[in-house]
């Protein structure tokens, strides 16, 4: 029987450091469909093209007063940290799905393409990161 993975046990590391106060992450893998239709055909034909991947994450905005918890360092997206990320920063990413016993992870190198900070009167301040993969994304399942 296969296990289900609860989102609350997900994690994302940039380099070898976990993202502080992570609330969600997304990972999308895709491939181009290259058209190879020629005259006289009644239906379009396609061949698989180049694969790519991209992702994003959202976290509570972490300032200097935030406790680092068990980790020695946590990636923070602010201007007061030695681990500050900027658009254009190259990063090594690991997306984790953990069910308490088994771990499924996706690993790849990427470029940070955007950073969005959000604040609302009735909610916590958040930061969102988007990245585009450079090269292959590998998937590893550890029972």
- Provide the pLDDT confidence category of residue 45 given band limits of 50, 70 and 90: very high
* Residue 116 or 138, more confident: 138
Beta-bridge partners for 95: 12, 106
Residue identified by tokens 């940070």 is: 112
CA triple 57-96-8, angle to 5 deg: 75
DSSP code at position 39: T
* Residue 16 or 45, more confident: 45
pLDDT in tens, 71-128: 333 444 444 445 567 888 888 888 888 766 667 888 999 999 998 888 889 988 888 8
Mean pLDDT of 53-73: 61
Mean pLDDT of 21-29: 88
* Residue 49 or 19, more confident: 49
Burial 26-59 (b: 16+ CB within 10 A, else e): ebeeeeeeeeeeeeeeeeeeeeeeeeebbbbbbb
Q: State the Cα–Cα distance between residues 17 and 69, nearest whole angstrom.
A: 12
Both tokens of 22, joined, read 């992570």
The percent of residues above 70 in pLDDT, for the chain, comes to 73
pLDDT at site 43: 97
DSSP code at position 78: S
């Amino acid at each position: 029987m296969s296990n289900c993975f609860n989102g609350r046990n997900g994690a994302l590391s940039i380099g070898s450091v976990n993202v502080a106060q992570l609330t969600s992450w997304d990972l999308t893998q895709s491939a181009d469909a290259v058209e190879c239709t020629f005259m006289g055909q009644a239906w379009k034909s396609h061949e698989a093209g180049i694969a790519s991947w991209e992702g994003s994450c959202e976290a509570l905005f972490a300032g200097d007063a935030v406790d680092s918890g068990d980790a020695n360092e946590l990636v923070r997206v602010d201007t007061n940290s030695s681990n500050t990320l900027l658009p254009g920063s190259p990063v090594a990413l690991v997306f984790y799905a953990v069910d308490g016993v088994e771990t499924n992870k996706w690993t790849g190198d990427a470029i940070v393409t955007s950073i969005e900070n959000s604040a609302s009167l009735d909610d916590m301040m958040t930061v969102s990161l988007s990245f585009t993969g450079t090269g292959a994304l590998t998937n590893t399942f550890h029972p």
